Structure 1
Amino acid sequence: MTPDEAITAARALPCWTAVTAAAPLEGGITNHNIKVMDEGRAYVVRLGTDIPEHGILRWHELSLSRAAAEAGLSPAIYHHEPGALVIDYIQSAALAEADLHDEATLMQATDLVAELHRELPKHAHGPTLAFWVFHILRSYAHDLRARGSRHTPKLSGLLDEASALERAVGPVQMVLGHNDLLPANILRGADRMWLIDWEYGGWNSPLFDLGGLASNAALPRDAEEAILTRYYGTAPGAALWRSYDAMKCASLLRETMWSMVSEQTSQIDFDYADYTDKNLGRYREALAALQSQGHLTS
């Protein structure tokens, strides 16, 4: 779907009374996002179908979007139908990596993650998927091999590393998480922050969201310590650091392999090859740091 086709599809939804404007929003690498003005009110239309290779099922995204809206974490849902989700437009700015290098902003984002983990399960109901990153990595490797990916020679080594990371993570506490904490999925409004994009939501370790928040913003070590201290209410000990660092590596590896798969399957106009290379470099750097601490066994 081209941007013009996405605008046409958004304008054609039956929920409108008198559309006065429709234009694409920046971002969105698994869907098209269109801002629509209708009778003086602004909405965001998210257009996208199921993407089985990434575990994206729109019924599940809708369910968690509803729960997040009820919990006050996300904008309210205005309309939905197969292939389209319409939510209230919030006057806000999506965070960038640099924003999370500001201490006050980072602590506010960490508090938002903690609120998510506390409150979302109270509002979710019906079937809810798990998001176990190590299963996802193995599934991605299977698909990449089946499709003859250019990355196939790397896969055996990456899966061996993933197995070592899974052992290093150890037992986990389960929370209902977001699992895609790119800075752009956190919106800063006039007096609060919001979370958007629930495509990958599901049960997981809280360390995946915390590690994803840090790795996606390339945070330094002191900022990571501040996140963990803020979230858990005490300074992290050696065991928590080991689990956190391993999960952070897994988060980076998942983002890398997600992009490898998207290189072959996505129809969105986005440079996935460059995104793969960027995240693979970050993963290698984080893995080397973990190995240097002697926290990874073969």
Structure 2
Amino acid sequence: MTLTDVLDDWPLWGISKQPISANQISILEGGLTNRCYQLSLESGEYIIRISAANTAELGIDRNVEKTIHQLVSSLNFTSAIRYCDDENRYLIRDYIEGEVLSDNVEDMSHNTLSYMVEQLKALHQVPVEIDLPVVNISEKAEAYWQMLATQQPNNEILKMKPLMQVAMSEPPAGDFCLCHLDPVLANWLYTAEGLQLLDWEYAGLAHPLWDLAALFQGIKHSFQQLEKKSKKNSHSEIEQNLENKILTLYGVSDLVAWRRACMQMEYLSSLWYQAQAKKDSY
């Protein structure tokens, strides 16, 4: 779907009294899957997100995403959806003024990390009274394996699929709850009202340690990228302490479950990047 197609729907949105002009739209960079634009109107600032062409291949259910987004926005975890088209090809949500945490990872304080863990813990305690699918690691991975087999049939990693799917299938011990499942730094926004969490397309009923593992890996990756640019190991001490800080802040005592959660999220993350490496442009 093109931006022009989206803008043709403007009378349906209920946020503008006239057609949208080019000077009211700006491209937002940084998204790895979808295309996003900032929309500046008299009624306010909004985000248009056009779903990627490979949404179904990635195993993303836009109806589930919309349901969860509406729930968490009512609890102030993220901004409200203003419009979503009937076929879930795009949505419009309120724009949030703030700073993406990945832009200042070097300045991340213990208080910021504590706040992030507290937000996830609060999310995990949200009562879920709606019907949501239970996240299965092997099922999520299967979508990525299928993309790999189609796009890169000679990739040596495909030989590992049977063993990896069995090894990664069993979740950590413990109850499932509402999880974001992609709380990397780029999805956190620091605002005047506190932290907001963006991009709920992978959210579902899942193990809370998966959220913590994804957070840990995302922050660690950001520090590693900085080290590559500076060609120094100045962040090694921070990386070593990061895991213990997260576990202590959340109150994790089952280290066996934690190690399993970390392996499973590393498994999904690695497959996701492999599957996205040669995706079609849109």
Same fold (TM over 0.5): yes
| Pair 102,31 (structure 1): closer, same or farther in 2 beyond 3 Å | same
Write out aligned runs for 1:129-278 (5 A): 129-145=133-149, 147=150, 149=152, 152-157=155-160, 159-161=162-164, 163-166=166-169, 170-218=172-220, 220-232=239-251, 236-237=252-253, 240-268=254-282
Partner of 2:233: none
Q: Distance in 2 between matches of 1:133 and 1:183?
A: 22
RMSD over aligned CA atoms reads 2.5
What is the Cα deviation at residue 40 of structure 1? 5.0
Q: Which runs of 5+ in 1 are unaligned?
A: 269-298
Relative to its length, the structure with more helix (as a share) is: 1
Match of 2:25 among 11, 22, 31: 22
Q: Distance in 1 between matches of 2:34 and 2:143?
A: 22
* Structure 1 residue ranges (4+ consecutive) displaced by more than 6 angstroms after TM superposition: none
Matched, 1:41 2:44: yes
What is the Cα deviation at residue 257 of structure 1? 1.0
Contact residue 11 and residue 36 of structure 1 kept, 8 A = no
TM-score normalised by L of structure 2: 0.80
| Pair 148,89 (structure 1): closer, same or farther in 2 beyond 3 Å | closer
Write out aligned runs for 1:2-13 (5 A): 5-6=2-3, 8-12=4-8, 13=10
Matched, 1:86 2:100: no
Count of aligned pairs between the two proteins? 254
SS at match of 2:24: strand
Q: Distance in 1 between matches of 2:73 and 2:214?
A: 22
Q: Distance in 2 between matches of 1:95 and 1:159?
A: 37
Matched, 1:57 2:61: yes
SS at match of 1:52: coil
TM-score normalised by L of structure 1: 0.76
Q: Distance in 2 between matches of 1:245 and 1:159?
A: 21
Match of 1:113 among 116, 120, 126: 120
Contact residue 100 and residue 217 of structure 1 kept, 8 A = no
Contact residue 30 and residue 266 of structure 1 kept, 8 A = no
| Pair 185,171 (structure 1): closer, same or farther in 2 beyond 3 Å | same
Q: Percent identity?
A: 22
Q: Which has the higher mean CA deviation after the structures are superposed, 53-62 or 85-94? A: 53-62
